[in-house]
Chains A and B, each alone.
Chain A
Amino acid sequence: MWTLVFRKILNNKWMMLCLLFGFIVVVAMVSTVPMYSSAILQKMLDDDLADYQNSRSVYAGMVQVRASYGVYSATDGSRGKAFTQHDKVVAEKMADISAVSSTDRAVTTIKATNMVLTPYDADDVENTAYAKTTMELNAVKGMEPYATTIAGRMYEPGLNENGEYEFVCTEAAYNQLSLNLDSVYRIASITKPGEYVAARLVGVVTMAEGSSQYWYIAGGMEKYAENILMDYDTMLNVLFTEYETTYLYEAEWRMAIDFTKLSIDHLTPLIDVIAEQTLFYENTSGFSYFRVPMYETLVEYTVRSATLKLELWVILVPILVMLALYIFMVAKTIIANDADEISVLRSRGASAKQIFKLYLYESLVLGGIALLIGPFLSYFMCIIMGSANGFLEFIGRSALPVQLSFKVYLYALAAVVFFVLMMLIPALGAARSTIVERKRRHSRFAGQPIWKKFFLDIILLGVSIYGYYNYQNLSAVLTVSGEDAVSMGVDPLLFLLSSLFIIGAGLVFLRLYPYLVRLIFLIGRRRWSPQTYAAFIQVSRSNGHEQFLMLFLILSVAVGIFSANAARTLNQNIEDRIRYDTGADVVLTVEWLQEQAYGIDGKPIDGEYINIEPDFTMYEQIEGVESAAKVYVNSSVKVQAKANMSSQSGVELMGIDPAEFSKTTWTRNDLFYPYHINAYLKLLSEGIRGALISSSLAQQLNLSVGDIVSVSMNDEPSCEMIVYAIIDYWPSIQPVNATSRRGGENPFIICNLSYLNSKFTKYPYQVWLKKADGVTDTEIYNYINANSQLRVADIDYVDQQLIAQKNDPQLQGFNGMLTLGFMITMFICVIGFLIYWILSIRSRTMQFGVLRAMGMPFSGILWMILIEQLLISFVSILAGVILGGIASDMFVPMLELMFPLEQQVPSFIVVALRSDYFKVYAVIAVMLAVGIFVLARMIKRTKMDQALKLGED
């Protein structure tokens, strides 16, 4: 059997190779979903947890359990019993966590609080100053190797020869509690100072070398800045049990999870364990606290992981459909080629089952190879995805930690199984067919393809249009989209709908197209040249074989165009928002020098200083800067309308030099539609007292153009300005501020800086910079760094923010998968196109021979092929372009719904860059050109007489 299989494969070399190729690509693409999402989320998780730690000074991977013993009776030993029980339980629980993550050892601390420490020989214990100082008695289990004594020695366990307990303290505590080394003290509860025990301070300790990790987990040595430390076993078993004055008050267990070793794919067990333990500790008496700070982050990541995977899948859907079509088409072709051989085998007694087995084995061989190679191809695909910065745009980034994991192979296996099954469907038919059925299939009355029969096209189209009109309701119902999507959540529903629409509409077109062709044919029936006539006949009567290719092309082009538009729009809007928010390429916060203020009498005024404005040319001359602008910002001024005396405080004010500002600020053409920002800047420059106010402010104070307002700020007397215009936006100002107290409106006023300077004290302004072309932020940074006289306190870079935004996994996944998907699609398109046409030509060599014999010139044959191409390939591409455009018009604007409400500025615009269309067209044009070239050569080479099987004698 196996020899048969391999012989069969080798006989059909080229087609098998094409099939295998498609198979490998499918497996690879499916594998990218888990591979890529894991890689990118792992990177983000690592970064985020590190950030968490830096910003909150809490070890992200800390596990903390606390139990308090106040509820237990102090005298009957129940505390001790409870603690023993707790200790055992916590050890088990900690072990559970260690089982699913990488952890350091746990550190146990016990303490007794509200203790007082008094020198042993003090006479009047109750009234000494010490009596007022409470502190804690602590014991940290196993601390000794991690502390070194800087004075004295470490405590010994148990009571010493004098019957005293021994303790040590930190240097800070030594000073804080005014202790003396080697002195004896009384330790008693503050409630019963008379009942004390004797304890001697034997040493002062500090962290041992290299034990910072231990102390970090133990809570840091700072915890013991006001407390003393005793031997753990002594405290637990001797002190607490033998003397009734000192009781175990609280115990704490801490452990650290090494989050750098957390794998994004193995979060779930850890999350489950933590969740289970949270419940446990809550419901077990005695435990007062259980916390794993990074728990929420981990949960968030599993959600993110799911969302990202969903997004990738949805974008993948049309591509998988196309690959499925491709595989189906190739498999069918192979089977059609085999038809004769199969008939022979059948006639010699092979059963349908055996034939089927032949195909099964064949598929398994191909599937096996695909399974081996696919994930490796996937690896490279992930790298491509990782460097995508937009649709068909690439950027160098630090590497993604892409890994071939077991999960990836599972996905790959699933893909192999699915597509093997798919390939076997036509095989099933072939195995059972007889010659009669075969011939019948070629006849005019062969059955309709499945999708036509079941009206799949109408269904898909209907579903997508329904979804389109009810999108917002649907989004609310399916909670994956909308608010729940973390960060730049690209709505999977939107992409699913657009894919369904494109597939459905494409199929509808294919349903109607044959009629259209027939109509055109009939119209010109008389007048068509023979080439055209023959082409029409070929196209309209070949039983729909070409519909595979057509659907292919339509889908590829439409999805390509839609993807380009969606990606461009999304990326552009995200970019614009960032640019608008920042205001210019680089925004510097600058510190001014101050000098002593002098009174009129020439004597310095105590505590009063004057701001000295730096020489602005310094900033204009920064290397790489095209222009600079002074922008004074005050976020809380008071504006009062002169006419009705109503006022508004907390208004944002911006003082600018209109000319500078015009050259430096970022703007977009539709921002002040129908005007340009320069029109407003010009207004401002025409009158020194002019001001542009926000419509919210105008509304609030009932202002119109020409009204006078008085503006006061910084506790200085007010000045008057005239309203020159009322506007809605201004670069860097969010007119709607969800966090503002007014519940939405963020009023602002723009005026001339020179006017402000004449009326008010000068205050430091921001310096906005516009970079020259090709200048990087690093160059600016280096220059500023090297020139400290610029006194730059803070820098805001647009480019850096853009990069950070682009690194968001959802957005990256989006850009990456779209780009990769398009590239793969186009590649497969070329191959599918070539296969179809080469086979078509090959099978018609006899027909061409006849036509040549009948006197049709060679150019005529070419012309005929060209018309066929026009009717099949070209029309499909055109349909794809139109469909892609319609889908874009329908669905791309909906991307707006993804943006959070607070950030509606600048308004969402749909971007369709011609260059993107050209990219798509270019790829297609190349494909067609290559295809036609190959075909022409093929036809030319075919010798007429060979075609007609003449000369065989």
Chain B
Amino acid sequence: MILKTTGVCRDFHSGGETVHALQDVSIGVKPGTLTMLRGRSGSGKTTLLNILGALDYPSCGEVYFGKERIDTLPEKKRDTLRRTKIGFIFQSVALIANMSAYENVEFGLRLSGYPAAQRRARAEECLELIGLGKRKGHRAQELSGGEQQRVAIARAMAHNPSMIFADEPTAELDTQMGLIVVRLFREMVEKQGLTILMTTHDPNMIELADHVYELHDGVIISER
């Protein structure tokens, strides 16, 4: 298992009330798979993703990344983890405005400590992979939504992370575009051996996953 949790729960306190977003979640992700977390809005899937991706802490339980327990790591180590071993793709596309497609990908490489001499080649390679080699000089805001998301994918994978987390990556794309993206994920998983964990509430995507966890009200209700 590349990612494992045992008995994770997450509570949110606001105004005297407590919301149990997650309760007793135990999942595992095998390397080289495309795993999906499925559930409706409010099911807690994004919360779980955050905890898994070292963006958030669980209220109880344990999270293991590889052999390492990450929910007790100091902040700095978690930053390093995210920087070198993880790649993120977000729902509302989070490219850095004013940077071109190429620069966005190259920036990700720079941030992760990729050797300077190889950055250019790797960035162009990734852009080719997602089919935007010719548009690499365009600024983020000049690309269409689908194109931007694909650039985000390129950026997320460029530094060869152990895992890629994607939070509703197709939510803001039309169905056709969305399918292209997920098919891209499949390709990455099969051809490059990447491990991808994504959340979705779109039932059509499920077919393409290796593993699906279904969440409802913060509890895993099924597993496939």
Contacts and interface: CB of A to CB of B under 8 A. Distances in A.
B98 A541 contact: yes
Interface string B28-52: 0000000000000111111101100
A542 B91 CA distance: 24
Interface in B59-91: 75-76, 79-84, 86, 88, 90-91
A854 B108 contact: yes
B223 interface: no
A142 interface: no
Contact of B55 (A542, A851, A945): A945
A533 B90 CA distance: 22
Contact of B84 (A542, A849, A855): A855
A949 B84 CA distance: 23
Interface stretch (B110-118, B125-133, B184-192): B110-118
B88 A854 contact: yes
Contacts of B91: 949-950
Given A855-B111, A855-B112, A945-B55, A953 B43 contact: yes
A858 B76 CA distance: 9
Contacts of A854: 82-83, 88, 108, 111-112
Contacts of B55: 852-853, 944-945, 950
A534 B43 contact: no
Interface string A524-551: 0011111001100110011000000000
A857 interface: yes
A443 B143 CA distance: 12
B20 interface: no
A853 B97 contact: no
B90 A855 contact: no
Contacts of A533: 107, 110
B50 A950 contact: yes
A846 interface: yes
Contacts of A945: 50, 55-56
B206 interface: no
Contact of A951 (B46, B88, B92, B98): B46
Contacts of B45: 953
A798 to B, nearest CB: 63
B141 A527 contact: no
Contacts of A857: 75-76, 79
Name which of B41, B82, B84, B86 has the most chain A CB atoms within 10 A of its CB. B82
A943 to B, nearest CB: 9
A856 interface: yes
A25 to B, nearest CB: 34
Contacts of A856: 79, 83, 111
A951 B96 CA distance: 21
Given A443-B141, A538-B98, A951 B107 contact: no
A527 B119 CA distance: 12
Contacts of B98: 537-538, 541-542
Nearest to B82: A855
B167 interface: yes
A198 interface: no
Nearest to A857: B79
Nearest to A526: B116
Contacts of A527: 116
B94 interface: yes
A533 B94 CA distance: 17
Contact of A847 (B86, B96, B167): B96
Contacts of B80: 855
Interface string A927-953: 000000000000000001100111111
A855 B94 contact: no
Contact of B46 (A529, A850, A950): A950
B214 interface: no
B97 A847 contact: yes
B90 A444 contact: no
B42 A953 contact: yes
Contacts of B103: 537
B105 to A, nearest CB: 12
B142 interface: yes
Contacts of A858: 75, 79
Nearest to A844: B97
Nearest to A531: B111
A850 B56 contact: no
Q: Which one of B53, B98, B99 has the highest number of Cβ atoms from chain A below 10 Å of its Cβ?
A: B98
A855 B81 contact: yes
A442 interface: yes
B94 A846 contact: yes
Interface residues of B, number: 41
B107 A948 contact: no
Contact of B111 (A444, A530, A537): A530
A529 B83 CA distance: 14
Contacts of B111: 530, 851, 854-856
Most chain B Cβ neighbours within 10 Å, of A526, A854, A855: A855
A854 B116 CA distance: 18
A852 B56 CA distance: 12
Contacts of B167: 950
A949 B96 contact: no
Contacts of A851: 111
B135 interface: no
Given A537-B96, A854-B88, A948-B94, A530 B116 contact: no
A853 B141 contact: no
B4 interface: no
B175 to A, nearest CB: 20
A443 B90 contact: no
Contact of A444 (B82, B116, B139): B139
A876 to B, nearest CB: 21
Contact of B94 (A443, A530, A534, A850): A850
A949 B142 CA distance: 23
B86 A855 contact: yes
Contacts of B76: 857
B47 A534 contact: no
A953 B142 contact: no
A948 B90 contact: yes
B46 A953 contact: yes
A442 B139 CA distance: 12
B25 to A, nearest CB: 15
Contacts of B108: 854
B96 to A, nearest CB: 6
A854 B81 CA distance: 9
A300 to B, nearest CB: 62
Contacts of A528: 110
A78 to B, nearest CB: 97
A526 B110 CA distance: 9
A376 B44 CA distance: 58
Contacts of A949: 91-92
B141 A442 contact: yes
Contacts of B43: 953
Contacts of A530: 107, 110-111
A850 B96 contact: yes
A952 B86 CA distance: 22
Contacts of B50: 945, 950-951
A339 B82 CA distance: 36
Interface string A453-485: 000000000000000000000000000000000
Contacts of B110: 528-530, 533
Nearest to A543: B98
A443 to B, nearest CB: 7
17 contacts: A442-B141, A444-B139, A529-B110, A542-B98, A846-B94, A847-B96, A851-B111, A853-B90, A854-B88, A855-B83, A945-B55, A945-B56, A950-B50, A950-B91, A951-B47, A951-B50, A953-B44
In the A-B complex, the 8 residue pairs with the closest CB atoms = A855-B83, A855-B82, A850-B94, A541-B98, A530-B111, A857-B79, A953-B41, A853-B88
Given A538-B98, A850-B94, A953-B42, 18 more contacts: A442-B141, A443-B142, A528-B110, A533-B110, A847-B97, A852-B55, A852-B79, A853-B82, A854-B112, A855-B79, A855-B81, A855-B82, A855-B112, A857-B79, A945-B55, A948-B92, A950-B46, A950-B49
